[in-house]
Amino acid sequence: MTDKKTNGAKDANPALPLFYKQPAPLDAKRHAKLALKENFGLGFTEGVNAVPVNLIEFPQICHFYPIAFSPDNNATPVAILGLRDNENLFLTKKEKWLDETYIPAYIRRYPFIFSEIPESDQLTLCVDTDDSVVEEKGKQKFFEDDGKPTTLAQNALEFCKSYHAAAQQTVEFSQTLAASGILVDRSAEITVAGDKKINFSGFKIIDEKKFAELDEKTFLEWRKKGWLPFIYAHLFSGSQWQRLTHLLNKSMAN
């Protein structure tokens, strides 16, 4: 299944994206009987303490997770899910997400993803064909008997289209932030039960002082692009470090 792609930089990282093990283009002949497992849950997020987020999600994300930026030149925005390595504080023991908590689109998109066709203006809908995700002759098929995509596949295509467009906008925003010099390295020292201290580092945030000192031309340009509300959402999200501390203490007590 394919769709026209929008302009944007190609992913220079050949490694598989987070969560994906065996992504393959959905094909009506090859995957005629392939289906998504019915009891497919969110267990695949176990052991992950941060996931990428898109710009348009910031207003939702900031109410539940701290938003940080990767320390490289791409400055990819991420939602922090845990304070220790291999820890997701929002995944319950039943492989469900914490009640009344926004689930980042990157997680909701899985197991589907777009891949670019080399030297083409098309994007191909792929699915992770790992055995933990899909099965043969299941009820949630990707294709009808006549080869047409099922509602499941069509909805996945539309969601991936929206996600891809939002991701392109996010790349411009985050790379501009990285080049502006207002991102600074930060670490967080969290005190948990038993007066134990946990150091969380390896991320960047917007320095409020440097942001306030931006020259007028840059500030007005960012306002024109509509970026200011998302910057404020990021700054507001800093209050969610306390929520992570609460969730960690609760987890350690169980």
Burial (Cβ within 10 Å: 0-12, 13-18, ≥19) of residue 34: buried
* 253 vs 77, more confident: 77
**At residue 207, does pLDDT exceed 90?**
yes
**At residue 10, does pLDDT exceed 90?**
no
Mean pLDDT of the chain: 90
**At residue 32, does pLDDT exceed 80?**
yes
Residue spans of the domains in the chain: they are 2-253
Describe the crossing of helices 151-180 and 216-225 by its angle, rounded to 10 degrees.
170
**At residue 11, does pLDDT exceed 90?**
no
Q: What is the mean pLDDT of residues 26-45?
A: 93
pLDDT band of residue 40 (cuts 50, 70, 90) is confident
Q: What is the mean pLDDT of residues 68-90?
A: 94
Q: What is the mean pLDDT of residues 35-50?
A: 92
Q: Which two tokens stand for residue 119?
A: 């030297």
